[in-house]
A and B are shown apart, each in its own frame.
Chain A
Amino acid sequence: EPEVTQTPSHQVTQMGQEVILRCVPISNHLYFYWYRQILGQKVEFLVSFYNNEISEKSEIFDDQFSVERPDGSNFTLKIRSTKLEDSAMYFCASRGVVGGSGGEQYFGPGTRLTVT
């Protein structure tokens, strides 16, 4: 069964450093998402991406964040200057259907980011 993959599984970085989290969505999917889950809290939407541009973003997704689909397979989330409060599990997700409802999102296993 196709699945979303994410690398690395765990990233430790120092405050102020740049990090890039990588995701490989399911190959024929069209919509791509990033979510985060601070330890013990609920999963929060960050950004959605369709047709090579951001389609929606939350207030969390400020100028420190960016997303890119550099080739036909990868989808990345970059945090330019990490802060302690960026420590969280980051989930990538993808969805296949165009429009309509019911097309569920498939989530990757997550990258645990620890900022020290």
Chain B
Amino acid sequence: GNSVTQMEGPVTLSEEAFLTINCTYTATGYPSLFWYVQYPGEGLQLLLKATKADDKGSNKGFEATYRKETTSFHLEKGSVQVSDSAVYFCALSGSGGYQKVTFGTGTKLQVIP
């Protein structure tokens, strides 16, 4: 079945530091890949997505590139802010059927001033 593996947290960074959260996946076919963000006490928000190999998803300064050869979708941001503190989930949905989303375990990011 499909699965997503992402780096363990928590990750603590100083403001303006560079962020990378690693994510790799296992799936059959050609899944769509997502990063969701969950701010404290809130629900899940779609941060960015990519639907095919070599696509780059981007939003709010965050980027991730769909790498089929390495089955990876690492999240990056050049300069984090305190407001980026949240839990980040890597996820995928299959290319057929009813496309349930399979989530990784989540990585908690804390940005300190």
A interface with B by C-beta (< 8 Å) = 31, 33, 35, 41-45, 48, 50, 55-56, 91, 93, 95, 101-110
Contacts and interface: CB of A to CB of B under 8 A. Distances in A.
Contacts, number: 65
> For this complex, into which size category does the number of interface residues on chain B fall?
20 to 34
Contacts of B18: none
A107 B99 contact: no
Given A42-B89, A103-B99, A110-B44, 6 more contacts: A43-B44, A50-B98, A101-B32, A105-B101, A107-B43, A107-B46
A102 B101 contact: no
Contacts of B101: 33, 35, 43, 45, 93, 105
A56 B30 contact: no
Nearest to B95: A101
Interface of B: 30-32, 34, 36, 42-46, 49, 51, 89, 91, 93-95, 97-106
Nearest to B45: A107
Contacts of B51: 101-102
